[in-house]
Amino acid sequence: MDIIDVIVDHPEQVWELTSEFAGISKQFYDKYYQNKEVAVAYRLGDVRKYKNWLVLHSKVSSCPHWKNIFIFDYYMI
């Protein structure tokens, strides 16, 4: 998967920029970012399907922006 852009800003600003494509409700978003100063959104490009699995949490655990988002344990790579 290609990452085209990373948006880091106040949650309301990020929602304004991403809500059309977020795939979640404003209610869910607000609850998730309640009492948070910063939200992060990734604009994704091409998705590729691979035949082997990669354990994501071992790859992104050192990335500070990933600590407050949902991470699925496995992604096909």
- pTM, 2 dp: 0.59
pLDDT above 70 covers a percentage of the chain that reads 69
For the chain, what are the domain ranges? 3-76
Q: How many residues does the chain have?
A: 77
State how far the alpha carbon of 8 is from the alpha carbons of 41, 60, 70, in Å.
7, 17, 16
> How does pLDDT run across 44-59, given as a tens digit for each residue?
888 777 777 766 655 5
| Best CA proximity match to 29, nearest among 45, 20, 64 | 20
